[in-house]
Chains A and B, each alone.
Chain A
Amino acid sequence: MENKEKEPLFSAKNIKLMTNPLGQDNPITVQVLGICSALAVTVKMKPALVMAVSVMIVVALSNLIIAAMRKQIPGRIRIIVQLVVIATLVIIVDQFLKAFAFDVSKQLSVFVGLIITNCILMGRLEAFAMANDPWPSFLDGIGNGAGYGMILVIVSFFRELLGSGSIMGYPVFEKIGLYKTGYENNGMMIVPPMALITVGIIIWVHRSRNKNLQETR
C-alpha cells in the first residue's frame, strides 16, 4: 500500500470507483440495495432529490470516517461502530436541515431518519471502506450515493408525471391542456407497488442493454 502514495487523486482507478455505481454496479438496479426508501420517497421529485443529496453526503462521509479509522476498529464490534458513525451523521444532517432548510426537512420528515437503515450505507462500509484508504472510500461513497440518487430521480420523475401530472410540483399536464382531452392521472402510480414495478422496468432495460449483467447458463 505504501508505494501507492504517489497515485493522483483522480486516477483512472479512482474515477472508476465513482462511475461504476452509476452504471454496471448500480446500488439499486444491480446490487438491489436501498429498495425500501426508493419505494417510499419517489412519489414526488423534490423529496426524492433532497433524499438523494442527503444519502450521498452521509454515505460519502461515513465511508471516509470508517476508512480513516478502520485499523483501530475492533473487528468484533465493527458493525456497531459503523452504525454509530452513520447514525451520528444522519442526526447531524437532520438537525442542519431543520435549522437551515426547514421546509425541505418537513417534506422528508421520517425518511431522513430512515437513512440510518438504508442498506447501501452498511453495505458500502462493510464491503469497501473497511478495506480501503479514505480517499478511494470517499469517492466510492459519492459514486454510490449518486447511483442511488439517479434511480430515485428517474423513478420519481415518472411517478410524479403520470401519477400527479406534474414535474417538481409544476403542473405540466394542466398547462398543456391534456385534461381537456379526457386524460386522467393514473392513481396507481402514487401507490408504492408501482415504484417496485418502475424499478423493475429500469432493471430490465439496464440488463438487456448490458451483456455483463446477463447470467449465462
Chain B
Amino acid sequence: MKDFSNKYIFIFSVVMVVSVAILLSLTALLLQPRQNKNIEVEKKMNILSSINVASTKQNAKELYDKHIRKSFVINTDGKHIDGVDAFTVILRNEQKKPLAEQYLPVFIAVDDSGDTLQVFPVEGKGLWGPIWGYISLKDDMETIAGVTFDHKGETPGLGAEINTTAFESQFQNKSLYENGSFVSIKVVKGGAVKGDLHEVDAISGGTITSKGLEAMVHDCLIKYNKYLSQNRK
C-alpha cells in the first residue's frame, strides 16, 4: 500500500462522505412514500386488531373506514380539542410535553357484533426500545374488549412475545377499575391468580418488557381517567 499525502486523504474523505450522503438521502427520499404507507396500513391494522377485527394489508383501509366511526383528541381534563387529527398524533412526541398540553387520541369504533368500543393508544418502554399498542374498552368504560401490542426491538422469543395472540388475549374482559378507582392491569411474574380481573401472566424470560408493558398501560390510560369517569354508564 503506497503512502498518500494528507491532501489526498482529506479530499478522498470529503468526496466519499458527500457521495455517500447523497446516495443515502436519495434512497431514503425515494422509499419514504412506500415506507409511510406501510406504517399507516400497519397502524390501521393494529387499531382494527384491538377491536378484534382481523384485517390484511389489502383490506385494512376499507375495514378501517367501515369500523372506525369517529376519532378525536382530548386533554387530560377530558375536554375535546378541535382541529387535530387523532390518527396523525404521535404519542411519543406528546409524552414529552407537559401533561396539561398533551393531545390524547380517542377512536370510536363499532365491532363485528355492533357494539360500540372506544380505542386508546398506549406507548412506553420495553427492554431495548419503544413498545406500543391499542386498548379498546367496552361502553362501561372499564372492561377491556381487546388489546394489541407491538414493539420496535424486543428479543425474539422473549420480550417480543408481547405481540402474540396468546399474550394479548389474556387482557380480554379484564377491568381497569376496582369500585370506581383506577387500578390498571398487573403483569404478574410466575402466573396471575385465576379469575383475577386485574392480573395477567408475564412472559418468562421477558421480565423487563413485561414490567415496561405494565407501566405503559397504567401511565397512558390514567391520563384518560377523567374522560372515562365522565362517560361511564
By a beta-carbon cutoff of 8 Å, the part of chain A in contact with chain B is 40-41, 43-44, 47, 72-77, 80-81, 84, 88, 91-92, 95-96, 98-100, 102, 106-107, 109-110, 159-160, 163-164, 187, 190-191
- Interface residue B84 (Cβ < 8 Å from any Cβ of A): no
Question: Provided the pairs A43-B158, A44-B156 are in contact, do residues A77 and B9 lie with their beta carbons within 8 angstroms?
Answer: yes
Please tell me if the beta carbons of A98 and B35 are within 8 angstroms of each other in the complex. Answer: yes
* Alpha-carbon gap, A128 to B100, bound state (A): 59
Would you give 18 A-B contacts (Cβ < 8 Å), ordered by A? A41-B156, A74-B4, A74-B12, A75-B4, A88-B20, A91-B24, A91-B27, A95-B31, A95-B35, A99-B38, A102-B35, A109-B151, A109-B154, A110-B128, A160-B157, A187-B204, A190-B205, A191-B205
- Interface residue B191 (Cβ < 8 Å from any Cβ of A): no
Q: Give the distance to chain B from A192, nearest Cβ to Cβ, in Å.
A: 8
Contact of A190 (CB < 8 Å), options: B1, B16, B150, B157: B157
* Alpha-carbon gap, A87 to B152, bound state (A): 20
* Alpha-carbon gap, A121 to B62, bound state (A): 45
Which secondary structure dominates where chain A touches chain B? helix
Residues of B within 8 A of A102 (CB): 35, 38, 42
* Alpha-carbon gap, A72 to B12, bound state (A): 9
A110: nearest chain-B partner, CB-CB: B153
* Alpha-carbon gap, A37 to B186, bound state (A): 33
Please tell me if the beta carbons of B38 and A84 are within 8 angstroms of each other in the complex. Answer: no
Please tell me if the beta carbons of A81 and B155 are within 8 angstroms of each other in the complex. Answer: no
